[in-house]
Amino acid sequence: MEQKDVTLPGVRISPVDKVNEKADIPEMSGLSNASARMKKESRNAFKDPALAKVKKTIQQGENRFRQVGRVEVKAFDSTFVGALETGLEAIGRILANPRTFIKETTEIENVEKAKKVSTVSIQHFATHSQYLRTIQENGEVIPDKILTIHSETNTAIYENRFVMTLIKRALSFTEQRYNFVRDHGETRDSDELFVHSKSLFNGVEYEVAMRVRASVPSADAGESVKNEAILRRLNECKRRCADYLRSSFMTQMKGAKDVTSPVHMTNMLLKHPDYHAAYELWEFIEQYDSLGVTYDVQESLGGFDEDYLSSLYEVVSQAVLQFHTRHVGVASANPDDDKLKKVTPTIIFDMDDVNYDDGKFLYDAYPEADVPVDPTSVILEEERKQVVSEKLNHLQGQEIARVKVEKTIRRDKDRIAYEGAKGRDEKKAVLEAKEKEKRDLLAKQEEEKRLEEEKQKAAALEAMKEEERLAYEEARRRAEGIK
């Protein structure tokens, strides 16, 4: 059966040009012998004229048969797993020895409360004599207050907030792909038989619809071992992300604000090898929009020889006869179970309702009719395929547009947040400059006041000395007058 490439968000479905390996459906114990015996007994039974007449009526009715062999092959993309492993190794080294920032605060406090005195404290005291308490006879200087410095280690720097956010994004990125592969990743090789028959017996139309499927796990064209290895690596990445999320580093970063795109390229993110590897993982996750798994499907139609068709007609005949013996009329055996339903006719514009959906792929459940049909009563196969193709293209276009819009909105939000943060930083810098200017002005005023006081003290001392000199001169003149 010819099948065109169909592209869905994150999943590619295309026919396999050449399948190197297909898993065989194993024979059940005694199944072949039982089938041959049943076939022989059925042929003998339908030699009966009454049964032969039923079979002939079925053959003259409207019958559709199709048998499809199907091979499914999945392939994992190891690129994103390798990128995850490289980035997570770098994050592990960062968590083992994260960079920190030492925040220092100064405070002028009573000398009795000071726990640590540094050279900065001595330099500050040398220029602020107003904090002097006394000077001992041996020359020892005793201050009243002194400048102390308090140091605090801060882990929540921008680069560490970036790593914290990346761990959360990597876990979400990994879990999404692992859960999809776990829930939808199984591929199976199968053979399916579809039977649809309509026949008329004495004005009563009997319709039989049947589907039989035999399937086994696919060999994935020899790639099953490689796929299992990639899946184990992906699971290990998911486990490592979960461990990082419970690490002491994340406990220290509790309450810190997440980083949003665009990432501000600091010197550490640019030059430090581990932080730069984490940045490369961020960029990879930002651009990688696939689920990381592709599916290839090959379907081939089986043939029907006369012997096989005869057996299928006998199966349909048996179904009709069995159903005829249990026909439920208006007066049923259990009147309490009877239900009255009112049905409102609806219009069907496409054939999606009769498509077989196994969770991953879509294909026809019933083949085209082998007999001519009224083209105005049903939608032709070509029209149905065109409708399905247009719908898939529309859905794909909507998905691509939605992703682009989300990325644009996210980037705009990130830009606005960045500009807001930048504006806040600039405003904070202006306020800090004004505060520093105010502190400097107060210090200058205190220094001028101190100098003025010292000048006044010196003037008073000078006046006192002049007064003493004058008194001494007066006393000397009096002494000379007496003599």
Is the domain of 57 the same as that of 88? yes
Question: Is residue 268 located within the same domain as residue 185?
Answer: yes
pLDDT tens digits along 61-89: 899 988 888 888 877 778 888 899 999 99
- Judgement on whether residues 110 and 206 belong to the same structural domain of the protein: no
Structure confidence at residue 140 (pLDDT): 74
Interatomic CA distance for residues 70 and 93, integer angstroms: 48
147 and 162 together in one domain: no
Q: Do 49 and 194 fall into the same domain?
A: yes
Question: Quick one: pLDDT at residue 342?
Answer: 67
Give yes or no: residues 83 and 14 share one domain.
Answer: yes
In the chain the first and final C-alpha atoms are separated, in Å, by 150
Q: Please report how the helices 273-287 and 158-184 are oriented relative to each other, as an axis angle in degrees rounded to 10.
A: 50
More confident residue, 43 or 382: 43
Say if residue 136 is in the same domain as residue 242.
Answer: no
pLDDT, one tens digit per residue, over 83-141 is 999 999 999 999 888 876 556 566 777 776 766 777 777 777 677 777 676 777 776 77
Residue 269 belongs to some domain of the structure:
yes
Q: Which two tokens stand for residue 322?
A: 């069995």
Residue 341 DSSP SS3:
coil
Does residue 12 sit in the same domain as residue 135? no
The enclosing H or E element of 119 equals helix 119-126
Structure tokens at 175: 């879990």
Same domain membership, residue 364 and residue 317: yes
Tell me whether residue 202 is in a domain: yes
Would you say 36 and 302 are in contact if contact means Cβ atoms under 8 Å apart?
no
Q: CA-based angle 232:234:237, to the nearest 5?
A: 115
Q: Is residue 380 part of a domain?
A: no
Q: What is the pTM of this model?
A: 0.47
Q: 109 with 247, same domain?
A: no
| 258 domain-assigned | yes
Task: Establish if 377 belongs to a structural domain.
Answer: no
Please check whether residue 213 is in contact with residue 192, taking contact to mean a CB–CB distance below 8 angstroms.
yes
Summarize pLDDT for 252-280 with one digit per residue, the tens: 888 888 888 888 888 888 889 999 999 99
In a domain, 330, yes or no: no
Q: Quote the mean pLDDT of the chain.
A: 75
Number of domains in the chain: 2
Is 278 found in the same domain as 174? yes
Residues 208 and 262 in one domain: yes
Segments forming the whole domain that contains residue 132: 105-154
| Chain position carrying tokens 């038989």 | 193
Residue 234 within any structural domain of the chain: yes
Asked if the structure places residue 349 within a domain, the reply is: no
Extract the runs of DSSP E, i.e. beta strands, from 77-118: 101-110
